[in-house]
Chain A
């Protein structure tokens, strides 16, 4: 270790690996993983979300939830930005994921044509 600078660089890099354990004040993606969600391909969506987050180096929590009673719109995915409404997107394909991540999570704009509900959280 040559300098404090070097340590701080190392810390930044290392913090990325444990970001899943820091939960406050972060953007959250919640994927509907009820039985029907899984059947409708929620796992593929989840994988696409992970890939997108990795690619863009984002600090986002990815978690999952059970059936929320909108099975006909599966696969479902919710985005919750800190302090904002929770938006549910439905009838998703893998290609929609990238759009949602870029527009909603990175730029903070709800993707209106994919959104199916707003949840008070």
Chain B
């Protein structure tokens, strides 16, 4: 008997973010509840990849109504099934509440977080079962490779990608079509395509989400790249810390093989192609392309000088094309809908959309796909819902350890590859960390430098020793031991490391220091010359808090929360803080409604 259709589909997010907030338990409870009401044959549960709104997980979307429920618990399931499924009533209390308007929003398309997005690459993520090749095909999947193979020459494919203006989403933004052209031009009996899914940037998770939520799209993109460049074998290099991504990709590969979409004579043509997964150990430097290829070959993941570029001498000495996950994910759309449709979105020099991972002190953290050229302000305030806890924006860090921090004055900047480089940041992989005024910018620079310093492979001296010296200086500054000349020394070291390191890791490691020096130099100076941390974040520098007599009305709120009884005073009289007792915990500051307390 043919499988009958279901009247309703419940899409349950099974992305890593929601797994950690308990979507499995919620789903089990849902299943149990459906069974109890004898609804199993009417209602289908589909486990999807990330919807992007991980902050509000676990998430479910109920079709056909398209109602979006979030922050679910197993205990909510009886009510949800009883009310929504049986009686057709929306359960108000489980809807998303917009932080600014406090309104409950039933349909996810109406949520601000999604409204300004343009989900092309993430179109399927969260909307289909990533483990079902049939659902991918139902959504138009493998149409593009079919078209490429049967209607286009490899050169025509390359021209289309060039025309579309796709630039590499792995960080540097190199034109993908041009890279393919180089690999296609190389003469060899054997070529490879490689997908870089190392995703080493702290805070980034777009590649993981794509692999978890829409693995076939990556496979299809790689197939098109292979056809264009003349490769017949490919590798996806994924870090081993991404087990769910690896599992879903493996399933996708098996299914594609079974359908004859991988293997020999694909679509009845003489195109043969197969793909392997290589799980990497997850070192940041292994994301560098030459190090990555060494790692696939079973050697230590250390970079080597380029040229020769991978397009001439890549994996096992053969011409290879290497692209990022999101780069490949853009390709099927370009081929299916044509370059013209694709480049209608974006800016002069950066076409299409970019996926950003929003984290930090922002209301809606998660994944957002936006057209290139959108302003930073729109991303942070319209999509991200603004700064959490009503705090004040201070900076946004973009591009991970290779990127930089941008101040408030630059929030109107339209975001694309070139505009970011111009102001001393970088697109990088698209991690956006939003910081409020409790963040110390010197400390932020120190955090990123600490990361690159410990991830340096050690092959070249400037990167290995230079970053260590810079880190020492930053450590001194944040502990209150900074001295005159430190800033100049940091600048000198930074320039040296940038210009003499072998690979991108060293060449970009000083960026966070340089950009914070550019926009927040006064904070460095305050640490060194005034011995204070303006953000009140560097513990070693805090001398305690004082109360402004004129502003204090003597409400006693502060005294009651101080854990060490450092505050004294009678009701309606100005209070005082004993600096010897104060441990700078800041508890009193957040209690005072009159802004009377500040750093000593």
- Most chain B CB atoms below 10 A, which of A21, A31, A33, A47: A21
Chain B residues in 8 Å Cβ range of A54: 4-5
Chain B residues in 8 Å Cβ range of A64: 85-88
Question: Which of B5, B127, B134 is A53 in contact with, Cβ under 8 Å?
Answer: B5
Interface pair B86/A18, CB less than 8 Å apart: no
Chain A residues in 8 Å Cβ range of B305: none
Q: Please report the number of residue pairs spanning A and B whose Cβ atoms sit closer than 8 angstroms.
A: 105
- Contacts A4-B146, A23-B64, A31-B88; is A15 near B7 (CB within 8 Å)? no
Question: Which of B4, B5, B89, B128 is A19 in contact with, Cβ under 8 Å?
Answer: B5
B142 located at the interface, meaning its Cβ lies under 8 Å from any Cβ of chain A in the complex = yes
Chain A residues in 8 Å Cβ range of B134: 10, 13-14, 17
In angstroms, Cα B65 to Cα A14, docked, is 21
- Contacts A18-B138, A38-B87; is A62 near B267 (CB within 8 Å)? no
Encoded as 1 (CB less than 8 Å from any A CB) or 0, chain B from 493 to 529 comes to 0000000000000000000000000000000000000
Interface pair A1/B88, CB less than 8 Å apart: no
In angstroms, Cα B89 to Cα A91, docked, is 22
B42 located at the interface, meaning its Cβ lies under 8 Å from any Cβ of chain A in the complex = yes
Within 8 A of A (CB), among B125-181: 127-128, 134-135, 137-140, 142-143, 146-147, 150
B8 located at the interface, meaning its Cβ lies under 8 Å from any Cβ of chain A in the complex = yes
Min distance, Cβ B474 to any Cβ of chain A, angstroms: 51
In angstroms, Cα B210 to Cα A63, docked, is 31
Interface pair B146/A17, CB less than 8 Å apart: no
A40 located at the interface, meaning its Cβ lies under 8 Å from any Cβ of chain B in the complex = no
Interface pair A2/B64, CB less than 8 Å apart: no
Min distance, Cβ A87 to any Cβ of chain B, angstroms: 18
Interface pair B142/A62, CB less than 8 Å apart: no
- Contacts A2-B268, A66-B87; is A23 near B5 (CB within 8 Å)? no
B18 located at the interface, meaning its Cβ lies under 8 Å from any Cβ of chain A in the complex = no
Interface pair B87/A1, CB less than 8 Å apart: no
Interface pair A14/B5, CB less than 8 Å apart: no
Chain B residue nearest to A51 in the complex (CB): B4
Interface pair B5/A63, CB less than 8 Å apart: no
Interface pair A18/B128, CB less than 8 Å apart: yes
Interface pair A21/B260, CB less than 8 Å apart: no
Chain A residues in 8 Å Cβ range of B261: 1
Interface pair A17/B138, CB less than 8 Å apart: yes
Chain A residue nearest to B151 in the complex (CB): A4
Chain A residues in 8 Å Cβ range of B137: 7, 10-11, 14
- Contacts A11-B138, A33-B86; is A1 near B9 (CB within 8 Å)? no
Interface pair A17/B87, CB less than 8 Å apart: no
A70 located at the interface, meaning its Cβ lies under 8 Å from any Cβ of chain B in the complex = no
Question: Which of B7, B146, B259 is A50 in contact with, Cβ under 8 Å?
Answer: B7
Chain A residue nearest to B2 in the complex (CB): A54
Interface pair B87/A20, CB less than 8 Å apart: no
In angstroms, Cα B260 to Cα A1, docked, is 5
Within 8 A of A (CB), among B112-132: 127-128
Interface pair A23/B266, CB less than 8 Å apart: no
Interface pair B88/A33, CB less than 8 Å apart: yes
Within 8 A of B (CB), among A33-92: 33-35, 38, 46-47, 49-51, 53-54, 61-66
A25 located at the interface, meaning its Cβ lies under 8 Å from any Cβ of chain B in the complex = no
In angstroms, Cα B135 to Cα A102, docked, is 29
Interface pair B5/A17, CB less than 8 Å apart: yes
Min distance, Cβ A67 to any Cβ of chain B, angstroms: 8
Q: How many residues belonging to B are interface residues under a CB distance threshold of 8 Å?
A: 38
In angstroms, Cα B7 to Cα A61, docked, is 7
Chain B residues in 8 Å Cβ range of A51: 4
Encoded as 1 (CB less than 8 Å from any B CB) or 0, chain A from 80 to 109 comes to 000000000000000000000000000000
Interface pair A1/B259, CB less than 8 Å apart: yes
B6 located at the interface, meaning its Cβ lies under 8 Å from any Cβ of chain A in the complex = yes
Chain A residues in 8 Å Cβ range of B44: 20
Chain B residues in 8 Å Cβ range of A66: 87-89
In angstroms, Cα B135 to Cα A19, docked, is 11
Chain A residues in 8 Å Cβ range of B142: 1, 7
Min distance, Cβ A119 to any Cβ of chain B, angstroms: 15
Min distance, Cβ B134 to any Cβ of chain A, angstroms: 4
Within 8 A of A (CB), among B53-105: 63-66, 85-89
Interface pair A7/B146, CB less than 8 Å apart: yes
- Contacts A50-B42, A64-B87; is A18 near B65 (CB within 8 Å)? no
Encoded as 1 (CB less than 8 Å from any A CB) or 0, chain B from 405 to 429 comes to 0000000000000000000000000
Encoded as 1 (CB less than 8 Å from any A CB) or 0, chain B from 306 to 319 comes to 00000000000000
Chain B residues in 8 Å Cβ range of A61: 64
Chain B residues in 8 Å Cβ range of A118: none
Chain B residues in 8 Å Cβ range of A14: 134-135, 137-138
- Most chain A CB atoms below 10 A, which of B63, B65, B142: B63
Interface pair B147/A4, CB less than 8 Å apart: yes
Interface pair B267/A63, CB less than 8 Å apart: no
Chain A residue nearest to B37 in the complex (CB): A43
Min distance, Cβ A45 to any Cβ of chain B, angstroms: 12
Min distance, Cβ B198 to any Cβ of chain A, angstroms: 30
Interface pair B87/A34, CB less than 8 Å apart: yes
- Contacts A23-B63, A31-B88, A64-B88; is A18 near B135 (CB within 8 Å)? yes
Interface pair A35/B87, CB less than 8 Å apart: yes
Chain B residues in 8 Å Cβ range of A2: 260, 267-268
Encoded as 1 (CB less than 8 Å from any A CB) or 0, chain B from 1 to 40 comes to 0011111110100000000000000000000000000000
Interface pair A21/B5, CB less than 8 Å apart: no
Chain B residues in 8 Å Cβ range of A31: 88
Chain A residue nearest to B136 in the complex (CB): A14
Interface pair A20/B260, CB less than 8 Å apart: no
Chain A residues in 8 Å Cβ range of B66: 23
Interface pair A16/B5, CB less than 8 Å apart: yes
A-B pairs with beta carbons under 8 Å apart, 28 shown: A1-B142, A1-B259, A1-B267, A3-B268, A4-B150, A7-B143, A7-B146, A14-B137, A17-B5, A18-B138, A19-B5, A21-B9, A21-B63, A23-B65, A28-B64, A35-B87, A38-B86, A46-B42, A50-B7, A50-B42, A53-B5, A54-B5, A62-B64, A63-B65, A63-B88, A65-B88, A66-B87, A66-B89
Extra pairs beyond A21-B11, A21-B127 (10, CB < 8 Å): A1-B142, A4-B147, A11-B137, A13-B134, A18-B9, A20-B9, A21-B9, A31-B88, A54-B4, A66-B88
